[in-house]
Amino acid sequence: MQYTEKVMDHFKNPRNVGEIKDASGVGEVGNPVCGDMMTFYVKIEDNIVKDVKFKTFGCGAAIAVSSIVTEMAIGKTIDEALKITKAMVAQELDGLPPNKMHCSNLGADALHKAIEDYLNKQKKG
Ligand code: FES
């Protein structure tokens, strides 16, 4: 299976690349098999994901996944963003080759981790 046009678009022109200096939460994930790494930064205000940025050191699919996940998460409530699954990510990209499905996993995981980091900080006060 080839990459879809949407994957190629997000790979060539990734949205929301970078870092949020005063991020509400940061999530880092890696895949020990391929060695790819992904860091997500979230800005949360009044229970809404206001901004998401990412830094990904990985394959083309991982970059496209990171980019689309930022677009999917921005504007959502925390609960909605936590419900974003790898299947939704792959669907949003009009599909990923089967051997690249783990890349979509990383994107959802990194987002969830960044939000959980924020929630943990809130608990600690
Ligand atoms: Fe591992 Fe894509 S090959 S994240």
Residue 1 banded pLDDT, cuts 50, 70, 90: low
Out of 3, 7, 11, 31, mutate this one to test ligand 1's pocket (max ligand atoms within 8 Å of CB): namely 31
> Which atom number of ligand 1 is nearest to the Cα of residue 59?
2
Spell out the domain ranges in the chain: 5-124
pLDDT digits over 82-100, tens only?
A: 999 999 999 999 999 998 9
Sorted by sequence, the CB contacts under 8 Å of residue 78 that are 6+ apart come out as 44, 47, 48, 49, 115, 118, 119
Is 59 one of the catalytic residues? no
Residue 27 has pLDDT above 90, yes or no: yes
pLDDT digits over 58-78, tens only?
A: 999 999 999 999 999 999 999
CATH topology of domain 5-124: Sufe protein. Chain: A (3.90.1010)
Please indicate, yes or no, whether the overall pTM of this predicted structure exceeds 0.75: yes
Residue 125 has pLDDT above 80, yes or no: no
Is 34 one of the catalytic residues? yes
Residue 28: left if φ>0, alpha if ψ -120 to 50, beta else—which one?
beta
